[in-house]
Amino acid sequence: MKLRRLPDTELEVLKALWAAGGETPRAQLEDALAPRGWASNTVNTYLARLTQKGFVSCRRQGKSNYYTPLVTREEYQSFEGKAVLDQLFGSSLKGFVASLTGDGQVEAEDLDELQRYLDDLRREDKP
């Protein structure tokens, strides 16, 4: 399946599915999404769209539908991250990081964590 960007509303439903973990009954999803104030039909519409797009599978059991995410959080985050990097920063990782740190609001421990991550990546690339 070729991933594509989801509207924020559909992404919120998918995030609720990821948080629930595995196959989830519709009623449980509605409870998790209740703070959004969406009507039951609205949730149903978003689930139908996610199913059509191949992000979610639906299994009917008795009178209930059970939904399972077909795309992991990590897969979608990777897709979105690459898309933002390409579209907004011309694939420049340095430009992306500079945009996050330009206002001086980055904590030293966040920079240390990023440096450790980069060091780990560099070690993995060496034979």
Q: What is the pLDDT of residues 49-90, one digit of tens each?
A: 999 999 999 999 999 999 999 999 999 999 999 998 898 888
* pLDDT reported for residue 35: 95
Q: How confident is the model at residue 91 (pLDDT cuts 50, 70, 90)?
A: confident
Q: How confident is the model at residue 127 (pLDDT cuts 50, 70, 90)?
A: low
For the whole model, what pTM was predicted?
0.80
Q: How confident is the model at residue 45 (pLDDT cuts 50, 70, 90)?
A: very high
The answer to whether 22 and 1 are in contact (CB under 8 A) is: no
Q: What is the DSSP letter of 23?
A: S
Q: Does an H or E element contain 60, and which?
A: strand 56-61
* pLDDT reported for residue 46: 97
* pLDDT reported for residue 73: 96
Rounded Cα distance, 45 and 39, in Å: 10
* CA atoms lying within 13 Å on the CB side of residue 87: 7
The answer to whether 100 and 113 are in contact (CB under 8 A) is: no
* pLDDT reported for residue 100: 76
Rounded Cα distance, 71 and 51, in Å: 11
Burial state string for 108-123 with b = 16 or more CB within 10 A and e = fewer than 16: eeeeeeeeeeeeeeee
pLDDT value at 41 more than 80: yes
Rounded Cα distance, 98 and 117, in Å: 17
State the virtual CA torsion across 85, 86, 91, 96 in degrees, nearest 10.
-30
% of residues, the chain, pLDDT over 90: 61
% of residues, the chain, pLDDT over 70: 98
